[in-house]
Chain A
Amino acid sequence: MAKVDEPASSAGPVQQAEELTQAAEARAQLAVSPELVAGSVPEYLRASLSRIRAGQVGILPVVGGLLLVSVLFQSLNSHFLTAGNLVNLLVQAAVFSVLAMGEIYALLLGEIDLSVGYVAGLSGVVLAELLKPSGLDWPWWAAILVALLVCAAIGVLQGSIITRLGVPSFVVTLAGLLFWEGMMLKILGNGGSVLISDTVVNDIASGNLSPAAGWVVMLVIVGLFGVLTWRRDARRRRAGLVAPPTGLTALKIGGGLLGGVVIVLICNTDRGRILPIQGVPWVVVLVFGILAAWTFVLGRTRFGRYVYAIGGNAEAARRAGVNLPVIRTVAFTLCSFTAGMAGVIYASRLRSISTAFDQTLVLYAVAAAVIGGTSLFGGRGKALHGVLGGIVIAAIANGMGLLGLTAASQYMVTALVLLIAVTIDALTRRGRVAGM
């Protein structure tokens, strides 16, 4: 029987619908990026506040968590916020941060990659084997290149199995986790380890820029950021689009400069115990570089847009003509490739690679991305989240180490932080769904 709707006879439903529409409108206003509707800086701040109250929290939880952790550890051990420890913390965080930036590619698709930890390990093994002076004795750049290419190939392989054969990424990368760990052990031999004596590779994690070079690099990075931000906002104003007020653009650039100055000041403080050590570690610059590159790829390119689209609604992306298998495979490839870079940093920090590879890295990669604010449900997240999440995890490990607490309690605390982060993710997601 065909459904024949009668026109609404009473005003009741109409009124109700009006109320619903108004409620939806109020929510819609909250969801707008504040910089797009605000005409002045105070308006911007007000709009931001109402967004936060509505549950659109962005990176606030992780920044808040970081402040909390810092205050807590500083009050328990005054050594925590010294320049030397902070720089140490940044270096410790580098491996977690870079791994998490890789993991974000899988998470954005709504998938997961459990293999990143051992892909990183394998990258370190390949690097160390190629550099062995008694063996192949390759130049550092060739060894790093091949290590990264091996990881990219692993990504292509895993990504192809996931997309072409339709095997769930959880299973494929779980198999990858076991397989690449086995491969690592096989190459290293029972209880084996390979030392790295190449100075360039070791300097990645342990070398510092000279204080002057640190300032120059920082000014170049902030300058680039400033020019790009300014030009983008100016272009929007020229095109007659809603643009953030000039004051806000200046504020953003000023904030970037302030952050840069603080980091360089901390790093340039002498932190040596016996001999003077100062300067920005290379690895910090490297992490910034990866962050900038992946932020660009995800935010400003077609590929990045499609990664978000697939995570948001794969069927919609497919109907829009997006080649799902290709985009997914490339994302998994970039994920493993980035894990390879984390492996190089890891091996460089230890100046060796051994079968005592840190197994917690495997899950810390996922944990760091999620703690940083990337959604496990796909479609929401940024490269920056990986960096921040990595710093949180490193801060917990570092702070608890300072307090002389064991690995056991570190695990438990990290687990609680992860649980809180996932809960925030689930709650804000529920808020968004209910908000429809």
Chain B
Amino acid sequence: MITDVEPGPPPAPPTGSSEPLLRLRGINKNFGPVQALVGVDLEVPAGQVTALAGDNGAGKSVLIKCIAGIHAPESGQISWEGKPVHIRTPREAAGLGIETVYQDLALCDNLDIVQNMFLGRERSRRLTLDEEDMETSARDTLAQLRVTTVRSIRQPVASLSGGQRQSVAIAKAVLWEAKLVIMDEPTAALGVTQTANVLELVRRLADQGHAVLMVSHNLNDVFQVADQIAVLYLGRMVAVRPTAEVDRQIVVDLMTSGASTRVLDPPPAKES
């Protein structure tokens, strides 16, 4: 059944870093009799976009929730910066530098961009909130990510477009000094232009040294930004490969049947 599992220690990612930021070894997770994850291995290196692909029910969400501290895996090891860790709560994940941008974005519509970015970690000066300090930091982070489409960072999030909201949620993760940003279907609800903007932002995030783990159904997005593609099939990791070594058809085969007998055509298919 599993013909495409990477053998032993997988080859070092293209950039050739010695120790990946996050390493999963043999992660198992059951919900009652249902095996959601079976012996999942994955390495997420810094400075790269790792796409997590798979059909519905393949275990993508369960896997990212294990990393984000929402689910505790039954067995298996998670290493962070080379050291074994146990991530029991989202708080602990945040403490390590893991931030998750969920599909619903978890933004408060009635609060403005700065208030949303600092929600839960407001800076205070004596008893009162230090609005100027927070606004300056938020502005700098947005500028660093070149999120320039918003007119004012004091506008309520309700007035933003879908892509701008996604950008705010991502910028929030960056502001909190995330080393690893996990994104769940970041472009699922977006139009064409906004998708392009968000993907650019994802790319920029990795180029600035963050590790990005992106769950996506959309192979256009995956091939556009990912450095490596990890494919889950029925709870098993059936392939983790650099994007350049696979094409769309191979990934579809892996997602739908867990294996692919195809080989890449000699001139690799040019993906946009």
Contacts and interface: CB of A to CB of B under 8 A. Distances in A.
Contacts of A313: 106-109
Q: How large is the interface on B (under 10, 10 to 19, 20 to 34, 35 or more residues)?
A: 35 or more
B227 to A, nearest CB: 20
Nearest to A310: B108
A61 interface: no
Interface in A303-336: 305, 308-309, 311-313, 315-317, 319-322
Interface stretch (A150-158, A239-247, A342-350): A239-247
Contacts of B53: 2
A14 B196 CA distance: 11
A295 to B, nearest CB: 12
Given A309-B108, A322-B120, A379-B108, A21 B90 contact: no
B119 A2 contact: no
B108 A31 contact: no
Interface stretch (B8-16, B71-79, B204-212, B217-225): B217-225
Nearest to B89: A321
Nearest to A378: B110
Contacts of B192: 8, 13-14, 17
Contacts of B136: 239-241
Contact of A1 (B55, B105, B163): B55
Interface stretch (B40-48, B149-157, B258-266): B149-157
B248 interface: yes
Contact of A301 (B129, B164, B220): B129
B135 interface: yes
A312 B109 contact: yes
Looking at B150, B193, B248, the one whose CB has the most chain A CB atoms below 10 A away is: B193
Contacts of A27: 159
Interface stretch (A32-40, A64-72, A79-87, A168-176): A32-40
Nearest to B106: A316
B111 interface: yes
Nearest to B197: A21
A319 B90 contact: yes
B69 to A, nearest CB: 11
B141 interface: no
A29 interface: yes
B124 interface: yes
Contacts of A302: 122, 124, 129
Contact of B132 (A8, A30, A239): A239
Given A31-B156, A37-B152, A21 B110 contact: no
Looking at A1, A3, A313, A433, the one whose CB has the most chain B CB atoms below 10 A away is: A313
Contacts of A24: 160-161, 164
Given A235-B132, A312-B108, A319-B106, A28 B193 contact: no
Contacts of A408: none
Looking at A7, A18, A312, the one whose CB has the most chain B CB atoms below 10 A away is: A312
Given A301-B128, A309-B111, A319-B106, A7 B220 contact: yes
A322 B108 CA distance: 13
Contacts of A321: 90-91, 120-121
A32 B120 CA distance: 23
Contact of B193 (A1, A14, A380): A14
Given A13-B192, A21-B193, A300-B129, A311 B110 contact: yes
26 contacts: A2-B53, A2-B217, A3-B218, A4-B252, A8-B192, A14-B192, A21-B163, A25-B149, A28-B161, A31-B158, A31-B159, A32-B151, A36-B152, A239-B136, A241-B136, A242-B154, A305-B111, A308-B110, A309-B119, A312-B108, A315-B106, A316-B119, A317-B120, A320-B121, A379-B110, A435-B158
Given A1-B55, A319-B102, A432-B109, 4 more contacts: A5-B220, A20-B161, A24-B160, A316-B116
